[in-house]
Amino acid sequence: MKKPILRKSLEIKKCHNFKWKDYYSWIHQKNILEVLRDSSKLNSEVKKYLEEENKYADFYLRNTKNSQKKLFKEIKGRIKLDDKSLPFKDDVYEYWIETTKKGNYSKSLRKKIGTNKTEIIWDGDKEKKKIGSKFFGIGDSTVSYNDQLLAYSLDTLGSEYFTIYVRSIKSKKLITEKIEETSGAICFSLDDKYIFYSKLGKNRRAKKIYRHEIGKKVKDDKLILEEKDEKYDVGISGHTSDKKFFLLRSSDGVSDEKYYFSIDENLPKPKLFKKRKKNILYSIDSWDGNFYIHTNENAEDFKVCKCSHQNTRKWKDFIPAKEGVLIGGVHFLKNWMFRGQARNALGEIYVRNLKTNKEKQITVLKEKIENLGLSRCQKDRNTDLLHLSVESPRTPNKTYLYNLKTDKKKLLKKQEIPSGYNQNNYIVERLYCKAHDGEKIPITIIRHKKTKLNENTNLLLYGYGSYGSSSGTGFSTTRLSLINRDIVCATAHIRGGLEKGMKWWKNGKMLKKKNTFKDYISVANFLIKKKYTGKGKIIGLGGSAGGLLMGAVVNKAPELFLGMIMAVPFVDSLTTNLDHSLPLTAGEFDEFGNAKKYKSHFKYIYSYAPYNNIKKMDYPHIFIRTSLSDFRVLFDEPTKFTAKLREYKTDDNLLLLKTEMDAGHSGQSGRDGSIEDVALDYSFILKISGKLENLIINKKNSFL
């Protein structure tokens, strides 16, 4: 089949007295935010090209159709489709979530405590059918304190412009005007007369928080807080644990500012808790007459302080900073406090008796990697009971009713895998790889015990490394489809995340961003050296900022990889950074830099930006997925990257671009849609690794 060719139109770009050529910049429309919300406004030539790329991808993946169906069936077969969550006890009702075999979306149910009469208050499948959109994204869903109203927000395009609805649970009728163009979050006032929400303004940025009186006109909504700085977005954090204050936030991701006002204020006038400082993060909660502050001020890896309501400037350490330990926030019951912390990409959970002030660590599995979580099981905080969940990369999730007083636990629910699973068939390892500068990079590996490790073994290497986001080490049923086919799965906990504290993040961003890419390459070489895989046998996997990672790495060390999967990849990062009108650009200056303002930032970003560093050389097989309505990473980026890469690459390996025309940053909506996305990725992996039945390879190594 003929390769799609995107028309070239030269634009000479200039910045800081530097010039460079861009032949595909013309596809970016000035009204791009309108296109995200109305695909009919997409340039017809660009639309035709995307459709041609989709046909091209379908053609070269045509022999994976059976594999996709088999993978879909496998992955879905490991999910207990008719499942329900553990109930949460409110004052009057118990609430829980259910899924069904036929449905794609969950149901929310409740019953009065002490009765057996169940009512459905939300049915996602019925709501989707009523709306009639192909994409159906649920932003928030919350019940009023009097249990009479349901507020929810929907995104029907994938562009994350949410519309808020409030309706009577009894009649299911809307009782107030719908509120459009919001960020999605909703918070009821305690008297249930109002809801608070944040409005999306110019360039899709949340700059204003409003209070809406239920039943009144939206045009009469009261402005509660407004942010003037273009870098910062505002949001609602809900009420404090003691229900004395509502909390609002303004943040750019690396610096915070928090506001609070009393629950019973007639016309809220938020008070600033502490003025923001560059690179200082903090959050607050209130309990027993004190504010508790989780912050990295004078504590690189955080600490928890407290102060009285009357004197918010006099702080005392409550959980002091510890070297090499990332301190998490605190959560309160009447007589207990629980919290988390992490070191070397391994989490820990602690519980403290507030009467004796004694603290203990909770462990369950005694495995090398153990993921623990504590959560409340009821609204009333006068209890000794919590839900304790535990899992590992090879151990399915279990949830216990945990008695803090007696230290006893009762199994309430365990993750069922209908198609069967024996965790003894799998091996989990934690390795540490030396980086180019001597730092030790954690690596999490899971593999089948029968898989032979040598230079012919295929290995899937996942990486992210941005925004201080740590890569998880939990249990996954989906990846078993690869592991059971002798593909080793590894996660590289590279710099740019928080796995080893704030330094790990700081040393993987701004003018140290290349450490992220170098770490990933170091991990790949380490795994080759240790015979977990071989050169040219690794498949890279990363999405969004992880797609930036994949793009930078494949330009630098393509010979290490058999292939790469790049989901909604941030690959034209220089162009995006220079365009301050885009939704996320201004808020990411402290993550990637400001190329427009600073020459040093420009030169640094230009030196690694994937689109700008494509070379005339051989590349591995590459599969790129994007979505037309994605506002976080515009479809422009992977489209331009694909067109330029196809022009430059000197091999016959696959280069496929798949654009979802009705989806957002996270891909298709619904349970089946998500599984289809994974099955497509996995079928590509099986294809290039030679694990498909009836695979045909011609003399030029072009995969048919």
Task: List the chain domain ranges.
Answer: 427-688
pLDDT grade for 393, boundaries at 50, 70 and 90: very high
Query: How do residues 604-627 score in pLDDT, each as one tens digit?
Result: 999 999 999 999 999 999 999 999
Task: Evaluate the CA torsion angle 654, 659, 664, 670 in order and state its sign.
Answer: negative
Backbone phi, psi, residue 256, to 5° = -120, 155
What's the average model confidence in pLDDT over 213-226?
97
- pLDDT for position 374: 96
d(CA 388, CA 403): 9
pLDDT grade for 276, boundaries at 50, 70 and 90: very high
pTM: 0.95
- pLDDT for position 703: 41
Look up residue 417 and give its two tokens.
């895998």
pLDDT grade for 693, boundaries at 50, 70 and 90: low
DSSP 536-554: T-EEEEEETHHHHHHHHHH
- In DSSP terms, which residues pair with 443 in a beta bridge? 431, 492
d(CA 588, CA 254): 9
Torsion of CA 438, 444, 448, 453, to 10 degrees: -10
Residue 701 has pLDDT above 70, yes or no: no
d(CA 580, CA 450): 52
Q: Report yes or no: 218 and 179 within 8 Å, Cβ to Cβ.
A: yes
Q: Report yes or no: 621 and 61 within 8 Å, Cβ to Cβ.
A: no
Q: Rounded mean pLDDT of the chain?
A: 95
Residue 581 has pLDDT above 50, yes or no: yes
What's the average model confidence in pLDDT over 162-191?
97
> Which candidate, 615, 475, 630, places its Cα nearest to that of 543?
630
| DSSP structure class, residue 667 | B
Q: Report yes or no: 442 and 345 within 8 Å, Cβ to Cβ.
A: yes
Q: Report yes or no: 302 and 292 within 8 Å, Cβ to Cβ.
A: no
- pLDDT for position 465: 97
Backbone phi, psi, residue 120, to 5° = -90, 120
b/e map 520-532, b = 16+ CB within 10 Å:
bbbbbebbbeeeb
DSSP 247-293: EEEEE-SS-EEEEEEETT-SS--PEEEE---TT--EEEEEETTEEEE
Residue 692 has pLDDT above 90, yes or no: no
What's the average model confidence in pLDDT over 267-276?
96
List Cβ neighbours of 635 (8 Å cut-off, separation of 6 or more): 50, 626, 627, 628, 659
Residue 697 has pLDDT above 50, yes or no: no
What's the average model confidence in pLDDT over 299-326?
96
Q: Report yes or no: 660 and 627 within 8 Å, Cβ to Cβ.
A: yes
Cβ-based neighbour number of residue 452 at 10 Å: 9
Residue 592 has pLDDT above 80, yes or no: yes
pLDDT grade for 125, boundaries at 50, 70 and 90: very high
What is the CATH architecture assignment of 427-688? 3-Layer(aba) Sandwich (3.40)
Q: Which residue has tokens 């695979």? A: 695
- In DSSP terms, which residues pair with 400 in a beta bridge? 388, 411
Q: Which residue has tokens 């060390």? A: 557
- pLDDT for position 573: 97
DSSP 471-507: PP----STTHHHHTTT-EEEEE--BTBSTT-HHHHHT
- Residue 208: C-alpha distances to residues 32, 153, 194, 219 (Å): 23, 17, 16, 14
What's the average model confidence in pLDDT over 453-475?
96
d(CA 506, CA 439): 14
Helix, coil or strand: residue 573? helix
d(CA 511, CA 605): 8
